[in-house]
């Protein structure tokens, strides 16, 4: 399974299916995604490799975090996979995959910390693309 950033300069591959897929609603994940939650897959570091642009991959470690860090493209700012502190898992933002990662989210973590404005997406009106403009 392959993935990349928005500008396409960084590419990676994962040879084996990830172990876990979950949504994390913690305050750090809200900050790093700029959104309600992070959709992350957890994979064996041995099955992960950078194919292109590894020199453009940035990393930020939150000083007091046990596992949390972030990965991003220095050119376009997209979130990218990062090795958890301790090195046991590589955490892959689901949106960075270019194809179906082969598993589905299993749970919400840090639900107690979810954004106060979060609404279940399925409870909102759905449009195939943008809604038609009202003139």
The Cα–Cα gap between 124 and 120 comes to 7
Give the contact letters, 83-102, x = binds to Zn ion (CB under 5 A), - = no.
--------------------
The nearer residue to Zn ion, 53 or 101, going by C-beta atoms, is 53
**22: contact with Zn ion by CB under 5 A:** no
Residues 23-62 interacting with Zn ion (rule: CB under 5 A): 24, 26, 29
- Specify the stretch interacting with Zn ion by CB under 5 A; choose among 7-15, 94-102, 111-119, 124-132: 7-15
Q: Which is it for strands 79-80 and 69-73: parallel, antiparallel or unpaired? A: antiparallel
Instruction: Convert 94-121 to b/e letters by CB count within 10 Å (16 or more is b).
Output: bebbeeebeeeeeeebbeeebeeeeeee
Residues that bind Zn ion (CB under 5 A): 5, 7, 9, 24, 26, 29, 73, 75-76
């Amino acid at each position: 399974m392959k993935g990349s950033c928005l500008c396409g300069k960084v590419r990676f591959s994962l040879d084996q299916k990830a172990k876990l897929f979950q949504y994390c609603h913690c305050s750090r994940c809200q900050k790093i995604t700029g959104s309600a939650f992070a959709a992350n897959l957890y994979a064996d570091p041995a099955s992960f490799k950078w194919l292109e642009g590894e020199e453009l991959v940035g990393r930020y470690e939150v000083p007091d975090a046990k596992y949390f860090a972030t990965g991003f493209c220095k050119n376009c700012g997209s979130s990218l996979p990062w090795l958890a502190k301790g090195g046991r898992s590589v955490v892959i933002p689901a949106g960075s995959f270019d194809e179906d990662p082969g598993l589905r989210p299993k749970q919400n973590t840090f639900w107690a910390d979810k954004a106060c404005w979060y609404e279940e997406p399925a409870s909102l009106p759905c449009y195939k693309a943008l809604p038609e403009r009202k003139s």
